[in-house]
Structure 1
Amino acid sequence: MFNFETFRQKSPQQRFLFILGLVMFLFYLVLGGMLIFGTTLLNQIQPMYRILLGCLLIAYAVIRFIRLINQKPEED
């Protein structure tokens, strides 16, 4: 699944993009959690739609994480 050897062999640009992908994964995950469990965030939206949007953001974060981990190394 995830091999640390391939992470060490990546160029600095690829490592930066990998870390940026992890940051974006965490951003979507936290935003989805805030929408579901936060009571003051976006109070104007009905609770059902807020929970639905939070679940969609968490599902999108999981999809991004799976795609990030399963990236094949680029061959030159």
Structure 2
Amino acid sequence: MTLNSNQKQKSPKRRFLLILGLIIFPCIIILGFMIMFWDGLNLALTQTQRYIFGALFVLYGILRLPRTIKSSRTDDE
């Protein structure tokens, strides 16, 4: 793999953290939807509480993705 003089290769640690962050993103989103719509979870919450709690997970997952990508770009510089 050839690199330009102004590009640096990511360390294995940074690459691992980026991949882990990208894997965690859909997991958090799926967990949020499971909390909202899957009745088999046996949570002692009302339907409204389940929607709010699940929506918080989905919102957190959506907010986490740009931060993961931004931190990856910042590390490259």
Mark yes or no: TM-score above 0.5.
yes
Structure 2: tracts of 5 or more residues without a match: 1-7
SS of 1:20's equivalent in the other structure is: helix
Higher helix share: 2
Matched residue count: 68
Please say which structure displays the higher CA radius of gyration. Answer: 2
Give the TM-score normalised by structure 1.
Answer: 0.77
Query: Map of 1:59-70 to 2, 5 A cutoff?
Result: 59-70=59-70
One-letter amino acid of the counterpart of residue 16, structure 2: F
Taking only the aligned residue pairs, the percentage that are identical comes to 37
Give the TM-score normalised by structure 2.
Answer: 0.76
1:3 counterpart residue number: none
Structure 1: tracts of 5 or more residues without a match: 1-7
Give RMSD over aligned pairs: 1.8
1:42 counterpart residue number: 42
**Per-residue deviation at 1:25?**
1.3
Partners in 1 of 2:68 and 2:43 — Cα distance? 33
Structure 1 runs (4+) greater than 2 angstroms displaced: none
